[in-house]
Structure 1
């Protein structure tokens, strides 16, 4: 049994729905196949912000931008990457944002988030990140039925959370929360996916969830559709891979990922299907060892019982906390955006990670002001958290040399009291300060002097992998000889990431996914579409 359409999109995150919307608006018949019972993948449980240089909303913040500056910044932070892909992204991203607004109920709003390296040539201290204004779910259904469980109710925007100081003691706007909840409005990643779903429905896209893909239909070296079961195929002129990376495939992650990044915060669905499908078609691959790395802490579990780590935010950005390795020494600017790359450093004598295990250590000044390990001031700490009245006692519990830990914290305190960090420069960058406490003497720095002292394990986590099939500037998947595979495209974490090995801004993952999805979808109905297989 088989059916026919123009474009099949595999995956329903930011990349997949952006691709589907672009292809449908371009006149294609489009079917989206989501393998899980929930829409949105990792996007739907994320903050939902997108890095879009030179976007049309940033002028509202009084910030200007242009193509040349954006390209200077991106090329300067992605050395060794393909410059043609950076150029394609910078050219397409602002067009994508306008397109999404024109063809969905989404209204983007600018954010005050700086680039990761705002001080670098071409960097910006605000405006390149955008997020959705609240979106009504309407006829889509209830959020808990549509999406994977969110880490918190998605009813406030990122800018509202920051403006209210909710991580630094601000009060929840209960009236606003109750209004939006009653109105069925969602924000952040849920808002982005809901808006894209509305747009896709209006454009006539067929949306199917709980529909995995088992293989590609191949005809004379070209992709001619997908197999849903051994007996059921959907034939199509184009197939767009937008089904994420491979962080939840244990064997693949162990074989390919460089470094100790084994704690994904994404839903347990990204198991390498894009790599297997692309391999079947003869694709070439790149950056399989890289990940969108993040420091994480022990969290809860997903519905299937698998671990669900949480991103470390307060315990790296705010005053009165620092990190140490098992030797009792600091090893990184804790507030930097690419902080997790330090976990990939190895001890030359042993070949093992030099900075794991790692611990975030805070004093009572931190605990009375900020959340720690998920516990707000006054709430009990989780059982796996260590606490002691003295630093030597804490060091003994952690198996850290007491003298070294005491010296490390004493030296840190001397400079932190003055708002400086000569060892690693913490707090001297716009990105650091933006995530700090604006009401503290210094947003990111404060001495650890008041007992009890508390320690939380920090793990090497990731929000997704970066490796996948190579693509050209039109999102066409490439063979080893650089020729495009007829009928096959890729976007988001299903493609080899043009940004790396670190990141360049908050929102870079979703900004890239939206943009490359839009490029792929637009290509399937444009002049750069690969020829369809004759039937």
Structure 2
């Protein structure tokens, strides 16, 4: 545990800022090495944006994949990752991520005892090395009884946390399972101390410029927490800062992000800026379409089963079955190109008027209609009038799409031609993904450009050390997760890259604090 000095201030070996999966894992790695570790979380619950995630972790060539019958290797993953990301980020950083992934899984299994499993979810790009069934692993769910009294300290699910839905779960799944299991692992370690409702305000440095701790504020006021070995900042991004989103990403609001309003407010990038850190990828997010709700929040939406998505002019502009980040990027491009900030999912009564997409929580038709976010009409022309687009343009968009459906080939955007697009429909051919819009009633539900968090922040080296504007490491300072500039650059290669890369760089950061040298050479750790 930490030691108090004569002023009542506490000093640890390692201080971790944030409580998403990257932060919790970094703290667990440090404490399991016997280093006195303090984790501070500014809200009253652990989990950050990670708690909202599906829990996928993308680490090629790990032993869980091998155990569950998935043929994969670090080298195959590298081939794919390089093809998708290119040289937008440092190749040494990419190699550090990919080569260390199997070690992360080994630590989770052997040291922390966290059970995991493979679950199919395709990689997102048609590129060499792609796994069409995916290479993502997930934590096994944990029962509420196993979590015990800590369950109230884990961030609730999205329907409960942001939309007020009642929650009476019997087990914790996905990203929340990672959070719960890691918190329990930390609770069992004498070297770990976890502090909720404790906000990091600034980084502390000595006369030589080394980061030696963090100034925090809790219910009793401000205090300093010293860090003998280093500070790991894994406190999320700036997705909930309207000012920063407007400045760096040309977004009209921060309300459409999937994260909780109290998380991801830009604390990390502000602290980094104060110490002269180099920042990058500030214009980037993990984008996604999102369904707008009456309370102003927006829910991550994917897996469109039928219908078309049109922009504010009534035009179809992309393959609706694209991986969500790619679809989000098309939406951002349309916003920049005069398509407006409004988007609509237009569909018919094929599912008895139900919403033909995965959205949690699902929109309530009556509540959404009252808010003007769900419109129903007896014709496309009437629907166009209801949503405020040109009826000729929307009519042409629907007619053109229907002609493609009749021929079984989307000549504009190739809908259904990629395995990812067919995955959510359980389809084996493109034709199965092209059902015409027809019938006596048509619907339009409002979509917006959402995100799963920003992905720009501090530039780090291959050990997670934060670099200054001259490219030199800032002694004692490390970053991981959405507080750092993502190793995947401007791309989102596959499900679980955010969590997987965050955990890996936290692992390497702790190793560097401990004085260990982990290999970067592609051949050194390849499985």
Relative to the length of structure 2, the TM-score reads 0.87
Shift, 1:377, TM fit: 11
Match of 1:211 in 2: 198
> Against the structure 1 CA distance between its residues 70 and 498, is the aligned structure 2 distance closer, same or farther, given a 3 Å change threshold?
same
Q: CA offsets, 1:463-513, max 9 Å, x none?
A: 111111110000000012211111000000010111131311122222222
CA RMSD of aligned residues (A): 2.7
* 1:347-366 alignment, distance < 5 Å: 353-354=338-339, 356-366=341-351
Q: CA offsets, 1:49-106, max 9 Å, x none?
A: 1112112222355431122221111111113222211111111112112211223342
Q: Distance in 2 between matches of 1:66 and 1:521?
A: 25
> Against the structure 1 CA distance between its residues 68 and 375, is the aligned structure 2 distance closer, same or farther, given a 3 Å change threshold?
closer
> Against the structure 1 CA distance between its residues 152 and 389, is the aligned structure 2 distance closer, same or farther, given a 3 Å change threshold?
same
| Most deviating of 501-510 and 7-16 | 501-510
Structure 2 residues not aligned, in runs of 5+: 1-7, 162-166, 519-527
Match of 2:103 in 1: 95
Shift, 1:33, TM fit: 0.5
Q: CA offsets, 1:319-363, max 9 Å, x none?
A: 3x101122222101111111010122258xxx6543532111000
Q: Distance in 1 between matches of 2:458 and 2:146?
A: 36
**2:318 match: secondary structure:** coil
> Against the structure 1 CA distance between its residues 308 and 440, is the aligned structure 2 distance closer, same or farther, given a 3 Å change threshold?
farther
Match 1:281 to one of 264, 275, 300 = 275
Q: 1:20·1:30 contact (CA, 8 Å) conserved in 2?
A: yes
Q: Distance in 1 between matches of 2:117 and 2:431?
A: 28
Shift, 1:451, TM fit: 2.5
Q: 2:154·2:180 contact (CA, 8 Å) conserved in 1?
A: no
> Against the structure 1 CA distance between its residues 59 and 261, is the aligned structure 2 distance closer, same or farther, given a 3 Å change threshold?
farther
Q: Distance in 2 between matches of 1:64 and 1:103?
A: 25
Q: CA offsets, 1:169-196, max 9 Å, x none?
A: xxxxxxxx99x81xxx311111111111
Q: Distance in 2 between matches of 1:255 and 1:327?
A: 26
Alignment partner of 1:309 is 2:298: yes
> Against the structure 1 CA distance between its residues 31 and 429, is the aligned structure 2 distance closer, same or farther, given a 3 Å change threshold?
same
Alignment partner of 1:464 is 2:453: yes
Q: Distance in 1 between matches of 2:279 and 2:430?
A: 48
Match of 1:332 in 2: 318
Q: 1:367·1:377 contact (CA, 8 Å) conserved in 2?
A: no
| Most deviating of 220-229 and 256-265 | 256-265
Q: 1:344·1:353 contact (CA, 8 Å) conserved in 2?
A: no
* 1:223-262 alignment, distance < 5 Å: 223-229=211-217, 232-237=223-228, 238-258=230-250, 262=254
Match of 1:24 in 2: 31
Structure 1 residues not aligned, in runs of 5+: 155-176, 302-306, 530-535
Q: Distance in 1 between matches of 2:380 and 2:122?
A: 35
* 1:55-134 alignment, distance < 5 Å: 55-60=62-67, 62-79=69-86, 80-117=88-125, 119-134=126-141
**1:264 match: secondary structure:** coil
Q: Distance in 1 between matches of 2:55 and 2:34?
A: 28
* 1:179-198 alignment, distance < 5 Å: 181=170, 185-198=171-184
> Against the structure 1 CA distance between its residues 450 and 55, is the aligned structure 2 distance closer, same or farther, given a 3 Å change threshold?
farther
Q: Distance in 2 between matches of 1:430 and 1:261?
A: 33
Q: Distance in 2 between matches of 1:460 and 1:84?
A: 33
Match 1:199 to one of 170, 185, 193 = 185
Match of 2:414 in 1: 425
Q: Distance in 2 between matches of 1:528 and 1:279?
A: 28
Shift, 1:313, TM fit: 2.1
* 1:341-420 alignment, distance < 5 Å: 341-345=329-333, 353-354=338-339, 356-368=341-353, 370-371=355-356, 380=366, 382-383=368-369, 384-420=373-409
Q: Distance in 2 between matches of 1:377 and 1:459?
A: 14
**2:368 match: secondary structure:** coil
Shift, 1:286, TM fit: 0.7
Q: 2:158·2:360 contact (CA, 8 Å) conserved in 1?
A: no
> Against the structure 1 CA distance between its residues 333 and 500, is the aligned structure 2 distance closer, same or farther, given a 3 Å change threshold?
farther
**1:365 match: secondary structure:** coil
Q: 1:115·1:506 contact (CA, 8 Å) conserved in 2?
A: yes
Q: Distance in 1 between matches of 2:160 and 2:172?
A: 8
**2:291 match: secondary structure:** strand
Match 2:472 to one of 473, 483, 506 = 483
Alignment partner of 1:265 is 2:246: no
Relative to the length of structure 1, the TM-score reads 0.85
**1:345 match: secondary structure:** helix
Match of 2:4 in 1: none
Shift, 1:439, TM fit: 9.7
Match of 1:146 in 2: 153
